[in-house]
Structure 1
Amino acid sequence: MGTPRCAPLWLWWISLIFLLLRHTLSGFALVEGADSVLTWRYKRELANETGAKTAADMPDEPTLSMRPKTPEELKIPQCEDSTADCAYGGKCVAGPNGYKSCLCPASCPVSIPVSCRAEKHDDYCLSMSDDYREKFLLPEPTCYMGICVCPPMFDPWKMEGSVKLLPFKCDRRELRVQGVALPSDSVYQGTDAMLFCCINMDPRTFVNEDGVDFIQNSSIIREPTSTPYHEIFTDGFEPPRCWSLDIKNAQFSDSGSYLCHVKTVGRHEIPANFTIEFVVKDTAPTNLIGDSAFAVLCEA
């Protein structure tokens, strides 16, 4: 008799619990499936809280450090005149942020067409590589006087073996010179060597044939054996940019400091020097075995 009286009460509790569970599940579904104001605020507050902690621990955000560098950040001079400011065949071009910088044919990678004389499309000279554009915010290659010109390079060029030359630049004010000794800056007496003074741009109209001297020990001026103008300048190929001094049958008098001294012409007189320390060592000892001779190549 007692059970029938209690049945309505249990049914009421079961119905109430069922309704509560249904309401809770509906709420979860709403939060999970919809971008409601509450969930957005929660996400924003959580992000701000996390961001505040990471900002204190890491002042530089990864997104900022990974963005392309501007010409100002790269310390590229702003140009005004293509002829006066840019290297040979260069053009002064405004970039995405309005900053003007020089483009030139010497800095174009092999993926860029050489001639654009027969084409009338502005984008015929294509684009720099994805890797380049991710690193640098500079103007895209463009056609100038029938030749494609490109923004400056930042990776060194290989000359011979492990020797790396300065990357090509397009603004005359970025002129630099580098000295290299081959096969080494330390050779044995009686052997041959070559000293090189190489600049980082096409020398034409800026550094004349006699524009580089090898000054030994601050007093003896030695004229180059060869210059870039002894070679052929061809569109689409890396322009010659090295002056060389041949040292035949090296003697102790050839030892010393060799200053690569560059003289420029035009509006910008840019001082550019580099010192090569060159050493001539005593002849390697020679041992005789029978009728043959061999040199024991060891450090003196």
Structure 2
Amino acid sequence: MRRHPFLMLAAIILTVVVAWTVWWQVTHHDTRNQPAARETRTAAMPSSSEQARLKTIAERFEHASRDWGTDPASWDKGLTAIRTPDTMSDAAMGKVSTLKRAKTLGPDAPSPWCGDDPNGAVCATWPTMLDYWRQQAWTMGARVDGMDVSVNTDGTVRVSGRSRIIIWSDTQNAITYRGIHGGEWWDLSPVTGTRTWTDTLTITNGRITARQSAGNTDWMADPWFKTWNTNPMEAAGSLTDRRQDGIPVEGQTPDLGLTHDRDVDVLANRTILSGSQWEQVFARDPERMNANTGDSTYD
């Protein structure tokens, strides 16, 4: 059958239109709804002056948050010098930080003696964790003893540091020594050592607004942001660079009047007398003790 010329012409025109449409879409594809190419940016390192400013703020914060109680450098200055103060203040930390603490953290948290009877006389006498531990140990404290501070590309500050700690319980079982001329001394021997720690600090408008701490440093080296629920005298056995030196204190061994919790082990005093100050005592009374052998008996 013979096809009509009009139909043949229409078919040719339709084929051309379809082909042209396909060509246009391929060569002029619509990019309006396509996702934009992701822009890659590299964080700019803070300037040297800004880095110095951030480091100074970080160092101030670490000292304000970690220095507390007895200064370990005073270990040989006698009983009064090493007594832990009965109060702690976070005022210095508040000047460089906006961080908030839970009520269960730090020295002001409720004492264990308040758990069963918060309205009782014992709780009223020793209401805080600082009060409680001051009755278990005559001496507690720490000082930052070195920091490595660096600024990250995002402006946060990484601080790796070390705190030197001091702790001493009581005169219980302290060694005594009687001199040939009637003098008497006893051995004061606190424990010192170090703990390491690492913080990443966020600083905004000159103050610490966030802190991430690595590791599980005990509260002696992080007093404001840890729970004071572990015995620091037990932890003293694992201190790095641990030392237990001693000095002679003239007079009879005193009763310090501490109210020990019978469930808390106290730190043992050392069992051998040694050190330069003891050598001076031995020199005055050579017949009574042999300093070279560390003999802790007397005639």
Report the TM-score when normalising by structure 1: 0.23
Q: Which has the higher contact order (CA 8 A, sep 6+)?
A: 2
Report the TM-score when normalising by structure 2: 0.23
